[in-house]
Amino acid sequence: MFRKKVLLSTVIVMAFMGGRESAEAQTSAGKPKKEKENLAEKFANVSPKLTSDNANPLLDFMFTADPTAVEYNGRIYVYATNDHQQYEHVGKDGKNSYEHIHTLVMMSTDDMVNWTYHGLIDTAKLAPWTQNSWAPSITSRLEADGKTHFYLYYSNSGVGSAVLTSTSPVGPWSDPLGKNIVDRSVPGVDCEAPFDPGVVIDDKGTGWLTFGGGTPKTKYMPDNSRIVKLGADMISLASNVAKIPAPYFFEASDLNFINGTWAYTYNTSWEQRTEWPYTNKDKPTQCSMSYMTTKTPLDPDSWTYRDNYFKNTGDVNVGPMTNNHTHLFKFKEKYYLAYHAMYLQDYFGTKGGFRNVGIEEMQVNEENVNIQMGKATFKGPSQINLLNPFVLQQAETTGGTSGQVQFEAADNAGNMVAKGKADKQCIMVRGADFSKQLPSKFEARVKGKGRIDVYLNNLKGKAIVSLTSDGKDWTTLSKKIEQKIDKGTANIYFVFNGEDFLFDEWKFIN
């Protein structure tokens, strides 16, 4: 009898437990599983660059315009108007009317597709007497002190042109004059807007500055483009101001010196080309780029109109119609043209006229100083050398991002760090060279609470390595790579998040 009771009790308990387990299983089955975030889908349409082969615009996380460039130690440094400062003031529904712009943007590359963002030049702080800072133009020269000096001219609103100097391409910068180098008070200027400076140093080491703009005298010959020789110090004038008879001139003066010839480039106006005296040259299209040449720049009669060399970006379906400002430069035996177009407006949800710098490879015949027609594209230039992932690389070096990624200045001039958010962001570098060796570890210098997941070639599948940070101080973390990596060339994607997380630099270790 006792044995029967025990068996009965056991059956009841087992039945109860079985029912409980069945109920728990049903409850568990009723809970939806948390699916892994689809990063490829999340970042599919955030930038024209991140998941494509496009190299334009140079920076896809902020608006920039009116480029200039200088080469130094195997890198090309590009400087631009900070349209993003205007965007931040007026918002996506506002207009880019330039009045809130008081900084210039710095960036550089050695391969033409991965760009290091060096932050801003705060002209309002450096030169508080100025109104705005637009359209920079830079040159450099090795001086008697054995240092390379950089001379950066820029538009002080429309009232004149100012100049900053430095012995580094990323600063610190200083204001040597405390006033405009050219404005309406200078004899011979005689134009309403002596802005948009364009500088060049010739083969004798002499500097030259072009500028001008304002109300035209006539539609065909506005008569407000100017040139002047600079003093030996590059911050004074050493000649009378001379006119450049530029047909349909509007703005955006720039200057090159090629094979003993001065080549002057400018943005033509929006006016209809009702007057055109040249029978052997086509009329420039509206608001496009044209150029002129001379051997004697201070003689107005010596300038020859050559041709139109870059159409309005709206004419070639790279964003809407807009003004332009170009800079022609030679880097590693190739000519390039820096310009701007409205690449990012759709990605930022705005139609306010905010611009971005792009670059195209150009064909220039140096013998006769002939600049062939170029064309704005999203594709941009090709990568001219591979990125080395086994040396320290900056987090602010990007070939594409998830858009609106933020960076903040670090202690050293020109050094920035990437800022995390609660939501995941992505930075990509293009063309990393894993052809000769494969890594065993990944390391990154980070600060704060956050995480980095590293992917190769695309955002699908598993990360090859992940780092988690929880420190209040800067530290370098490393992690063994568990996933198989194939030899070859790869794009590297860094997906990171964390509200107080900062990401400074990274490298792979063999």
- What is the C-alpha separation between 355 and 338, in angstroms, rounded? 13
Q: Is 71 a catalytic residue?
A: no
Tens of pLDDT along 129-170?
999 999 999 999 999 999 999 999 999 999 999 999 999 999
Both 192 and 326 in one domain: the answer is yes
Helix, strand, coil percent values for the chain (each to nearest 5): 10, 40, 50
457 and 497 share one domain: yes
Whether 9 maps to a domain, the answer reads: no
Query: Is the domain of 315 the same as that of 260?
Result: yes
User: Do 338 and 76 form a contact (C-beta atoms < 8 A)?
Assistant: no
**482: confidence class by pLDDT, cuts 50, 70, 90:** confident
Q: Domain check: are 422 and 367 in the same one? A: no
Shared domain for 312 and 193, answered yes or no, is: yes
Q: Is residue 53 part of a domain?
A: no
Task: Decide: 288 and 279 in contact? Cβ < 8 Å.
Answer: no
- Quick one: pLDDT at residue 13? 38
Domain membership of residue 40 (yes or no) is no
pLDDT at 23 over 50: no
Residue 28: pLDDT over 70: no
Looking at the 3D structure of the chain, how many domains does it have? 2
Query: In Å, how far from its chain's centre is CA 379?
Result: 15
3-class secondary-structure state, position 298: coil
Q: Do residue 157 and residue 219 come from a single domain?
A: yes
Q: Are residues 338 and 436 in the same domain?
A: no
Q: Is residue 209 part of a domain?
A: yes
Instruction: Give mean pLDDT, residues 279-283.
Output: 95
For 318-345, the pLDDT digits (tens) are 999 999 999 999 999 999 999 999 999 9
Alpha carbon of residue 419 to chain centroid: 18
Q: Give me the catalytic one of 251, 254, 396, 443.
A: 251
For residue 35, tell me if it sits in a domain: no
For residue 15, tell me if it sits in a domain: no
CA distance 196 to 154: 7
User: What is the average pLDDT across 84-110?
Assistant: 99
CATH code for position 183: 2.115.10.20
Clarify whether residues 262 and 409 are in a common domain: no
Task: Specify if 252 maps to a domain.
Answer: yes
| Joined tokens for residue 76 | 């090309």
Task: Return the pLDDT at 34.
Answer: 55
The DSSP symbol for 264 reads E
Q: Which residues, other chains included, contact 4 with Cβ-Cβ below 8 Å and sequence gap of 6+? A: none
Give the confidence band of 471 by pLDDT, cuts at 50, 70, 90.
confident
The predicted pLDDT at position 76 comes to: 99
Predicted confidence (pLDDT) per residue in 347-372, tens digit: 999 999 999 999 999 999 999 999 99
Quote the pLDDT of residue 30: 47
pLDDT band, residue 14 (cuts 50/70/90): very low
Lowest pLDDT segment from 33-47, 57-71, 90-104: 33-47
What tokens appear for 12 in the block? 């009841």
Q: Does 251 participate in catalysis according to the annotation?
A: yes
Q: What is the DSSP string of 312-358?
A: -GGGGTSSS------EEEEETTEEEEEEEE--SHHHHT--S---EEE
Q: Quick one: 188 and 306 in the same domain?
A: yes
pLDDT exceeds 60 at position 3: no
Let me know if residue 400 belongs to a domain: yes
CATH code of 438's domain = 2.60.120.260
Q: Give buried/exposed letters for 292-311 (b at 16+ CB in 10 A, else e).
A: bbbeebbeeebbebbbbbbb
103 vs 2, residue with greater confidence: 103
Mean per-residue pLDDT over the chain, rounded: 94
* Percent of the chain with pLDDT strictly greater than 70: 93
- Among the options 60, 66, 223, 360, which is catalytic? 66
pLDDT at 171 over 50: yes
Same domain, 320 and 419: no
pTM of the model: 0.93
Residue 190 and residue 318 in one domain:
yes
| pLDDT for position 33 | 54
Q: Which of 319, 339, 371 is the last residue of a domain?
A: 371
Is the per-residue pLDDT at 214 higher than 80? yes
Residue 194 one-letter amino acid? P
Backbone φ, ψ for residue 346 (5° rounding):
-65, -35
Is the same domain home to 97 and 141?
A: yes
Residue with the larger pLDDT of the pair 34 and 95:
95
Residue 134: which domain range?
65-371
Residue 163's pLDDT is: 99
Give the pLDDT mean for 402-430. 96
